[in-house]
Amino acid sequence: MFTDFVDELSKMLAGDQLLTAKSELIPYESDGLTAFKALPRAVVLPEQQSEVVDIVQLCHRYSVPFVARGSGTSLSGGSLPNTDGIVIGLNRLNRILSLDAEQRIAVVESGVINKNVSDAAHPYGLYYAPDPSSQAVCTIGGNVAFNSGGAHCLKYGMTSNHVMGIKAVLPDGNLVELGGSSLENVGPDLVGLFVGSEGLFGIALEITLRLLPIPETYRTVLAAYPSMELAGDAVAAVVASGLLPGAMEIMDNLTVRAVEESVKAGYPIDAGAVLIVELEGEASAVEEEFRDLQEIISKSGAYNVRSARDETERNLIWKGRKGAFGALGKISPAYIVQDGVVPRNQLGAALAEIDSLSQEYGVRVANVFHAGDGNLHPNVLFDNREDGMLEKAEALASEIVKMCVRRGGAITGEHGVGMEKRHLMTDMFSDQDINQMLKLTNEFDPKGIANSGKMFPADRVRGI
Amino acid sequence: MLEPKSVREVQEVVNTASTAMLIRGGGTKTALSTSSGNETVIDLSNLSGILEYRPEEFTFTALSGTSLKNITEMLSENGQWLPFDPPMAKIGATIGGTLATGLSGPGRYRFGGARDFVLGVEWVSSAGEILSGGAQVVKNVAGFDFPKLMIGSLGRFGIISEITLKVFPKMNSFGTVEWDCGDIDGAVGFVKEMTRTPIDLFAIDLESNGIVRARLGGLATTLNNRLARLSEYREGAKIILGDVELDLWEHLREFLWLPDDYSLIKVPITPDLIPQLDACLTDGQSQRKYSVGGNVAWIGWPGTTQEVDTILSGLGLGGLLIIGSPETSWLGTSSTITIFADKVKRAFDPEGRFLPL
Ligand SMILES: Cc1cc2nc3c(=O)[nH]c(=O)nc-3n(C[C@H](O)[C@H](O)[C@H](O)COP(=O)(O)OP(=O)(O)OC[C@H]3O[C@@H](n4cnc5c(N)ncnc54)[C@H](O)[C@@H]3O)c2cc1C
Ligand SMILES: Cc1cc2nc3c(=O)[nH]c(=O)nc-3n(C[C@H](O)[C@H](O)[C@H](O)COP(=O)(O)OP(=O)(O)OC[C@H]3O[C@@H](n4cnc5c(N)ncnc54)[C@H](O)[C@@H]3O)c2cc1C
């Protein structure tokens, strides 16, 4: 069976587009969540949209499971292969098909790198707003699958808020076009439903994005606090003031020290917490808001406040934040990037609870988070060479997300459910809610071949 | 007509309805919420009330039949608002009807539309179950985005019972700059130029006669300078302030320009296509407004809508009849049901207990 399937694949693809040797498959055995590994039976690297459609149709005909893969930076095991299936690598589907500066619309193939969209739009004074820290490598297709966010999603929203149209091949091989090039829509928001579907509804081929004018001015403030609690209170004060910053990020002491060791962003290493607040927009308005912000920060108990005086200083502040995950890799042999959300007024209490859980487990946790929207990234640091440490770290990571849900939050704010959090879905949704999601996947994917095994608790899905 | 007062009663109604269920919020979008006779009409205007409002969280949860008016007042007392300018608040639109129709006003331009503000929904399914999606926090990607799916779903997938939205701090002052660009081509050309300005426009609308209006909102202290700067983009700028300015946008948001007995049609579009559409509509008595930076056409149309249907199809555009006679809601290309929508319908309403797509 599978050999017939591979035979047919080899007829439709060039030699370098079909990988079957173990040595070639190993790079695909896991994604950004390296704790999970599975070797696919083959990897295909289509170069044309029509090839993707043919491959999916073939998978459907032979009932072979497939997993779409962009750049494999998923932190939830979203692009983890099925051992009885194939990986469809989309990196070669990387054309920007059109960029209409006057109407601020870009049409891109799904393998286009996030940052390349902004780079292409830059000469026209435009950019693509969602900026995951992985933006230099992750693909728009992966962003769409996960509804990815970033530091600057506070004001302008996540991927979903910037996608107007999607062309996709459904798991049964049907080609569909959802939405269009207008910001407006009539009828059910099918684009909205597709974004965040984690590859379970098929493969996005072409995506229509909305671009924004590059803000005229940024005002970036770095404030150091003796404690996380004070930094959290400062965020609450900024939010309550009615200011609408483009970003508000917090890092704890462990992260700050790691960052300073690796990228030297000039953060005070003795700080209990470092807060970054960035205002963006029209110059005159931002200057006015900046005065208000300085006043709030000056009363918030910060012991060291620095405002970027120019673009170089601003970039340095962000370099530290964007390099935080990499920096943690240098102070710990392994770590789990956790992702949970709490209501913003629970930030302080949630952080205190993470701290006590960390002590209880005897496992270090480094916190980096999108404070403005209550999106926590507690990074659980552990030594994977020690027996039982992975399990312990995973248990702590799960415990932290359950705590988020108990506080009225969510199990993931931007990294998706994937493989990692499927057992936590029942903490957030009722059996009936999950059934409704499964009914929908059954309609789209009657054979259960698209990214099967992801998102739902193992006992609730077929095909695994 | 059935008027459930609680979610429990909505479930009972669903369990006993013997004909297709038509859901009605406040009935403002007559083309969508008026029964043609055979349906079980479920009126949700008694399913109203705010369930939770935490100003410091910038979120609230309300029953779907809550009027926009009550919501707006509540938010306003705390210096907050829904910046997408939900339309028809004055004439009694409900939050459920607004989201189920997917309507946003001119303010959609700046921060996004109804779809971009919804965080969570609860609905009564075709099987009478209470289901939910999303969460009550401002950021969440767990599970499928059912809240967004429900936007524009027109009561075809379920009866929305509860809605959680995020809100924004309210802008405390507004001003508008108006230009006369001569004709629609001139207006479209100018709007395209303005969409790339670094000035944060809150809204930008245009009209068939070439009028373009750009709205700014924000701190009172900087507004005058910003308006002056905006005026410099083109000769002949007229600055509008105060109550006149507020009335101007309310007129648009509430469709007060729509003559009695006219139908109201919403057409998503891109600026480039506006001149063509407008040219097709100049005969007869139609009225047109182009909003959200030229991303939506609002067409006021006398008489039957067959002709509009043909025109839209010819241009590859789709439309939705919002106000008018209830027979044909989908116009132009939007009347073709996609495989995708069909599959969603089967998953949500396998027995066709709600109206067909
Ligand atoms: C250092 C680092 C920092 C990160 N920072 C952030 C951050 O700030 N914010 C954030 O949200 N995430 C972040 N991430 C997570 C990750 O980068 C995002 O989830 C990203 O969107 C994944 O893109 P990708 O191209 O790598 O997709 P992959 O990892 O290859 O795939 C992700 C999922 O999308 C599916 N998929 C891929 N392409 C398609 C397609 N065309 N159609 C349908 N499904 C598809 C896959 O099957 C998989 O389920 C970070 C990751 C790393 C390693
Ligand atoms: C021009 C005009 C003038 C009016 N003037 C007045 C007036 O002066 N005084 C007055 O009292 N009234 C007036 N009305 C009627 C009044 O506005 C309605 O009571 C009200 O607008 C409610 O509309 P709605 O927004 O809730 O949506 P509806 O029109 O009720 O519904 C719109 C769509 O959403 C669906 N829907 C609604 N709620 C849900 C839900 N919870 N779940 C799933 N689907 C749902 C419906 O099935 C329909 O498809 C006027 C109406 C019009 C058109």
What's the CATH architecture for A2-89? 2-Layer Sandwich (3.30)
Q: Cβ separation of B154 and A187 shorter than 8 Å? A: yes
Which regions of chain A carry the CATH code 3.30.465.10? 96-213
B135·A341 Cβ contact <8 A? yes
Instruction: Give the domain ranges of chain B.
Output: 7-169, 173-247, 262-332
C-alpha–C-alpha distance, residues A140 and A163, integer Å: 10
Give chain B positions within 8 Å (CB) of A414: 139, 141
Contact A184 B318 (CB under 8 A): no
All residues at 6 or more sequence positions from A143 whose CB lies less than 8 Å from its CB, including other chains: A114, A130, A132, A159
Nearest CA among B105, B295, B288 for reference residue A103: B295
Contact assessment for residue A237 and residue A135, using Cβ atoms and an 8 Å cutoff: no
List the one residue out of A235, A360, A375 whose CA is nearest residue A293.
A235
8 A C-beta contact, residue A367 and residue A379: yes
First to last CA, chain B: 22
CA dist B192 and A84 (Å) reads 51
The end-to-end CA distance of chain A, in Å, is: 18
Q: Nearest CA to CA, how far is A273 from chain B (Å)?
A: 22
What CA–CA distance (Å, rounded) separates A378 from A368?
Answer: 6
- What CATH number labels B262-332? 3.30.70
Residue A173 DSSP class:
S
How distant is the Cα of B209 from the closest Cα of chain A, in angstroms? Answer: 21
What single DSSP character describes residue A211? -
Strands (E), A131-186: 163-169, 175-179
Distance from Cα B302 to the centre of ligand 1, integer Å: 50
How many whole angstroms from B180 Cα to the centroid of ligand 2?
35
Q: Where in chain A is the domain with CATH 3.30.70.2740?
A: 332-422
Single out the residue of A302, A65, A107, A86 nearest to residue A200, CA to CA. A65
Could you give the angle at the alpha carbon of B289 between the alpha carbons of B288 and B290, nearest 5°?
Answer: 125
Please state, as a whole number, how many other Cβ atoms lie within 10 Å of the Cβ of residue B306. Answer: 10
The 8-class DSSP code of residue A410 comes to B
Contact between chains at A242 and B222 (C-beta distance less than 8 A): no
B167 Cα distance to chain centroid = 16
pTM: 0.94
Cα–Cα distance, B96 to B46 (Å, whole number): 12
- pLDDT tens-digit series, residues B293-322: 999 999 999 988 999 999 999 999 999 999
Q: What is the dihedral of CA B91, B97, B102, B103, to 10 degrees?
A: 0
To which H or E segment does residue A206 belong? strand A203-210
The preferred substitution site among B23, B131, B330 for testing ligand 2, maximizing ligand atoms within 8 Å of CB, is B23
Token pair for A34: 């390296």
- Which residues 235-254 of B are in CB contact (within 8 Å) with A? none
B74, B48, B75: which is closest to B62 by C-alpha? B48
The reply to whether domains B173-247 and B262-332 share a CATH topology is: yes
Best mutation site among B140, B151, B224, B309 for testing chain A: the one with the most A CBs within 10 Å? B140
Residue-wise pLDDT for B188-244, tens only, equals: 999 999 999 999 999 999 999 999 999 999 989 899 999 999 999 999 999 999 999
Question: Chain A residues with CB inside 8 Å of B309's CB?
Answer: none
Fold of B173-247: Alpha-Beta Plaits (3.30.70)
> Which residue's CA is the nearest one to ligand 2's atom 13?
B91
What is the Å distance from ligand 1's center to A91 Cα?
Answer: 12
Q: Which of residues 60-79 of B touch A (CB under 8 A)?
A: 79
- Report residue A254 as tokens: 């462990």
Closest CA–CA distance from residue A187 to any residue of chain B (Å): 5
Question: Which positions in chain B touch A438 (Cβ < 8 Å)?
Answer: none
Distances (CA, A) of A39 to A27, A81, A398, A458, B339: 9, 6, 26, 19, 34
**CA-based nearest residue in chain B for residue A437:** B144
- Which residue, B112, B146, B145, is CA-closest to A416? B145
CATH number given to B7-169: 3.30.465.10
**B40-43/B21-24 β-pairing:** parallel
Residues on chain B touching A243 (C-beta within 8 angstroms): 169
CB-based contacts of B16: which residues, under 8 Å, 6+ apart? none
Transcribe A11-44 into DSSP letters: HHS-GGGEE-SHHHHGGGS--S-TT-----SEEE
pLDDT band at B341 (very low <50, low <70, confident <90, very high): very high
Predicted pLDDT at A464: 34
Please identify among residues 290-319 of chain B the ones whose CB lies closer than 8 Å to any CB of chain A: 292-293, 295-296, 318-319
pLDDT in tens, B142-201: 999 999 999 999 999 999 999 999 999 998 899 999 999 999 999 999 999 999 999 999
CA distance B43 to B5: 9
Q: Which residues of B touch A124 (CB under 8 A)?
A: 196
Q: How far is CA A20 from CA A39, A60, A111, A451, B348, in A?
A: 10, 20, 22, 19, 40
Q: Where in chain A is the domain with CATH 3.30.43.10?
A: 2-89
Q: Is the CB of residue A183 less than 8 Å from the CB of residue B113? A: yes
Here the ipTM equals 0.96
| Architecture of domain A96-213 in this structure | 2-Layer Sandwich (3.30)
B131, B145, B295 ranked by CB distance to A436: nearest: B131
Multiple choice CATH, A332-422, 3.30.428.10, 3.30.70.2740, 1.10.3720.10, 3.40.50.620: 3.30.70.2740
Question: In a structure prediction context, what are the per-residue pLDDT tens digits for chain A, which is 464 residues long?
Answer: 899 999 999 999 999 999 999 999 999 999 999 889 999 999 999 999 999 999 999 999 999 999 999 999 999 999 999 999 999 999 999 999 999 999 999 999 999 999 999 999 999 999 999 999 999 999 999 999 999 998 888 888 999 999 999 999 999 999 999 999 999 999 999 999 999 999 999 999 999 999 999 999 999 999 999 999 899 889 989 988 889 899 999 999 999 999 999 989 999 999 999 999 999 999 999 999 999 999 999 999 999 999 999 999 999 999 999 889 889 989 999 999 999 999 988 888 999 999 999 999 999 999 999 999 999 999 999 998 999 999 999 999 999 999 999 999 999 999 999 999 999 999 999 999 999 999 999 999 999 999 999 999 988 765 43
| Ligand 1 environment, Cβ below 6 A | A 31-32, 67-75, 78-79, 90, 110, 132-134, 138-139, 141-143, 145-146, 148-150, 198-199, 203-204, 325, 414-415, 451
Residue A123, burial from CB neighbour count under 10 angstroms (0-12, 13-18, 19+)? exposed
Count Cβ atoms within 10 A of the Cβ of residue A436 and give its class: 0-12 exposed, 13-18 middle, 19 or more buried. Answer: buried
**A409 and B218 in contact by Cβ < 8 A?**
no
Over the Cα atoms of chain A, what is R_g? 22
Contact of A153 with A370, CB cutoff 8 Å: yes
Residue type, B349: D
- Which ligand 2 atom is the nearest neighbour of the CA of B123? 42
Asked if A433 is an interface residue toward chain B (Cβ–Cβ < 8 A), one would say yes
Instruction: Extract the tokens encoding B127.
Output: 């099987």
| Structure tokens given for A219 | 């005002």
Residues 199-258 (A) with a CB less than 8 A from some CB of B: 213-216, 236, 239-240, 242-244
Q: What is the CATH number of domain A217-326?
A: 3.30.70.3450
Contact A334, A384 (CB under 8 A): yes
**Residues of B with Cβ-Cβ distance to A245 under 8 angstroms:** none
B110 CB near ligand 2 (under 6 Å): no
**Gap between the Cα atoms of B120 and B131, Å rounded:** 11
Q: Are A278 and A307 in contact (CB under 8 A)?
A: no
Q: How far is the CA of A139 from the centre of ligand 1 (A)?
A: 7
Using the beta-carbon criterion (under 8 Å), do B343 and A443 form an inter-chain contact?
Answer: yes
Nearest-CA residue for atom 21 of ligand 1: A143
Contact yes or no for B309/B265 (Cβ under 8 A): no
In this structure, how many other beta carbons lie within 10 angstroms of the beta carbon of residue A125?
15
Once rounded to an integer, what is the mean pLDDT over residues B251-261?
94
Q: What is the pLDDT of residue A462?
A: 53
Residue whose Cα lies nearest atom 25 of ligand 2: it is B93
A98: contact with B, CB 8 A cutoff: no
Cβ neighbors of B303 (< 8 A, separation 6 or more) are none
Question: For chain B, what is the HEC assignment?
Answer: CECCCCHHHHHHHHHHCCCCEEEECCCCCHHHHCCCCCCEEEECCCCCCEEEEEHHHCEEEEECCCEHHHHHHHHHHCCEECCCCCCCCCCCCEHHHHHHHCCCCCCHHHHCCHHHHEEEEEEECCCCCEEEEECCCCCCCCCCCHHHHHCCCCCCCCEEEEEEEECEECCCEEEEEEEECCCHHHHHHHHHHHCCCCCCCCEEEEECCCEEEEEEEECHHHHHHHHHHHHCCCCCCEEECHHHHHHHHHHHHCCCCCCCCCEEEEEECCHHHHHHHHHHHCCCCCEEEEEHHHCEEEEEECCCCHHHHHHHHHHCCEEEEEECCCCCCEEEHHHCCCHHHHHHHHHHCCCCCECCC
Q: What count of residues does chain A have?
A: 464
Give chain B positions within 8 Å (CB) of A104.
195-196
Give the residue range(s) of CATH 3.30.70.3450 domains in chain A: 217-326
The pLDDT of residue A156: 87
